[in-house]
Amino acid sequence: MSYLSRGKINIQEVQENSWKELLQLLEKCVGTKAIVWDEPLADAIGSIAMFSLLRDQDVVKMFPLRRGRLPIGQNPLTVYKNIIFITRPQVNLMDMIADNIHGEERTSGPHKMSTFHLFFVPNRSLLCEQILKNRGVYGNFTFIEEFACTIFPFDYDLLSMELDSAFKELHLESDPSYMYQAAQAIMMLQDLYGVIPRVSGKGLAAKHVWDLLKRLSLEPRTPKKHITHSQIDHLLLLDRSIDLVSPLVTQLTYEGLIDELFQINRCTVHLPPEKFSHSNEDQKDVIAGKKQIILNSADDIFAELRDKNFNAVGSTLNRRAKLISSQLDERHGDRTVQEMKQFVDRLPKMLASKKSLAIHTTVAELIKETADSSEFLDSLMVEQDMVLGVDTDKINPRIEECIAKKVPLVKVLRLICLQSATNSGLKPKILDFYKREIIQTYGFEHIISLTNLEKCGLLKVQSGQRQFMVVRKTLRLTIEDCDEINPTDINYVHSIYAPLSVRLAQHATKPNGWANLQDSLQLLPGPVVDHHQNIPPSQLSQRNNITSQNDAPKVVLVFFLGGCTYAEISALRFLSQQEESNVEFIIATTKIINGNSFIKSLMEPLVPES
């Protein structure tokens, strides 16, 4: 996982730290182990512990957590000494665990003698333990522990808490649990990288997390290591609800489009395998009829492509292809033995590049099929009109058409929510029209989903000023002149719209920037956070004073509370890479989202999708 350590802040430390903790827990259970995972969590923990590492700890087998009986064999020769459940502290999962244990207990299967353990991630929960007690299985566990892993390292500059429904829990259920976890995650990062001197932020969630952070810093902590100076200079907390436009517009970066069209899940995407070459070697990546591709900066071709506008991908692929073929051609020239040796040494890397190039060429073709379709282009036109404020006060004919054609509801809702967001609310008549249209077309069962969107403020009735339009102007969120190939502004990620969240980050990192933003910030919902944290004397080394002299790049941790998109990540990376910039961004988020997953997380399907 060396790709984690290539940034200014060594993110690998997060991985090592969590792995150490998991290791300690596993060492408590002596003997062979089978792990039963809460599935989404298993994916996330893969970023900390690869199976090979677990195997060294006597982990023989891993299962997904399901209802009913454990799918372990009944062969008495392969009995696992320990059966370890590793799950989120969620009530519904406890029921599954209880089912599993009852299953083993009632039959006199060979695993009756196994020792059961339960590790909660990231916190133990009394509520869950109570449920286990109610189900009569609490006593079956030898160890009930917590694996305090709040945040997972995805890339050298990217961390995700992998909380799917953070935004929904807060806004629909008034359950602020995720903010506590976010504050804990920040505390953990501070344990590793030092206290962050400056904290700013915007939105209710930002304020809340900051308050919790203040509280948590009063609690005694055992230092993880000796820290000589703060490695992160600035923490920027951004509440998703201050910028609902950015997740709703279609992402036009390479990685963003892969996510929009095929859904990336923890740096992995599954694609239809037909288009990919069918050599034996590639076949192993095909899982359950899908080609699996890992997307992170370990693959340097992907690292170059991911943040580009899709329109710049073709030319980059071309250039790379030429480079590799010329490199491979070098072998035909007359060579000394020494040069031949160097060539052979480089060969594996070149072949890997070649393979990766083939994969991404295919992926680009897959994307192009959709991106060139008139539906896609039409929707894009509508989105762009909306962010530009064109006719956002009227019923949008394109939305009407989509409803009439009964395109997937998520897409329609996404457009309506975008219109509501860009217009800072819809006229009651228009909102009612859309709602009735949806109920008549898609069915009455969606009435709750619509209510949910209203509760979260994604759909709302216009009241007073159209703040978004003002902010759009003052922060220059739409720049129509956009060079997609050689961008000069972050607007390239949506081809004219510059994400509001990232624009705020851009200004916040300038000297006095946050204060200068006051006028715009006032137009956005929720309080402003602007504070300095006291640095413990042990972390105030000489170096710290020098870094504040403006010459060395500042490291800014942008924490998205409620999720962020790949386009936003790309835009922040773009800012880091600017020559004149002396800022390096680390991005943390509760989850990486896109418009579809965002809307879906807020819907409540009353009728199971057929």
- Residue ranges that bind another protein, judged by CB under 8 A: 89, 91-92, 123-127, 130, 173-177, 179-180, 183, 208, 211-212, 215, 218-221, 374, 397, 400-401, 403-406, 432, 435-437, 439-445, 447-448, 451, 606-607
Provide, rounded to whole angstroms, the least separation between the CB of residue 56 and another protein. 31
Nearest of 562, 508, 391 to residue 399 by alpha carbon: 391
Q: Which is nearer to another protein, 123 or 533 (CB)?
A: 123
In the three-class reduction of DSSP (H, G, I as helix; E, B as strand; rest coil), residue 552 is classed as coil
Provide, rounded to whole angstroms, the least separation between the CB of residue 234 and another protein. 23
Provide, rounded to whole angstroms, the least separation between the CB of residue 75 and another protein. 37
Q: Identify whether the C-beta of residue 253 lies closer than 8 Å to the C-beta of residue 217.
A: no
Question: Which residues lie below 8 Å from residue 161, measured CB to CB, with a gap of 6+?
Answer: 150, 151, 152, 178, 181, 182, 185, 588, 589, 590, 591
Q: Which is nearer to another protein, 4 or 148 (CB)?
A: 148
199 to 229, 370, 377, 575: CA distances (angstroms):
16, 42, 41, 20
Q: Which is nearer to another protein, 26 or 367 (CB)?
A: 367
In the three-class reduction of DSSP (H, G, I as helix; E, B as strand; rest coil), residue 461 is classed as strand
Which amino acid belongs to residue 224?
Answer: K
Provide, rounded to whole angstroms, the least separation between the CB of residue 246 and another protein. 26
Provide, rounded to whole angstroms, the least separation between the CB of residue 129 and another protein. 10
Provide, rounded to whole angstroms, the least separation between the CB of residue 397 and another protein. 8
Q: DSSP code of 367?
A: H
Q: Identify whether the C-beta of residue 83 lies closer than 8 Å to the C-beta of residue 42.
A: no
Q: Which is nearer to another protein, 16 or 391 (CB)?
A: 391
Q: Which is nearer to another protein, 172 or 286 (CB)?
A: 172
Provide, rounded to whole angstroms, the least separation between the CB of residue 442 and another protein. 6
- Rounded distance between C-alpha atoms, residue 474 and residue 11, angstroms: 35
Q: DSSP code of 406?
A: T
Q: Identify whether the C-beta of residue 292 lies closer than 8 Å to the C-beta of residue 286.
A: yes
Provide, rounded to whole angstroms, the least separation between the CB of residue 310 and another protein. 14
Q: Which is nearer to another protein, 35 or 409 (CB)?
A: 409
Q: Which is nearer to another protein, 57 or 125 (CB)?
A: 125
Backbone angles phi, psi at 234, to 5 degrees: -150, 135
- Rounded distance between C-alpha atoms, residue 253 and residue 310, angstroms: 5
Provide, rounded to whole angstroms, the least separation between the CB of residue 264 and another protein. 28
Q: Which is nearer to another protein, 43 or 484 (CB)?
A: 484
In the three-class reduction of DSSP (H, G, I as helix; E, B as strand; rest coil), residue 163 is classed as coil
Q: Which is nearer to another protein, 269 or 602 (CB)?
A: 602
**Helix 409-422 vs helix 374-388: angle between axes, to the nearest 10 degrees?**
20
Q: Identify whether the C-beta of residue 170 lies closer than 8 Å to the C-beta of residue 179.
A: yes
For residue 243 the two structure tokens come to: 């910028």
Nearest of 492, 493, 514, 516 to residue 505 by alpha carbon: 514
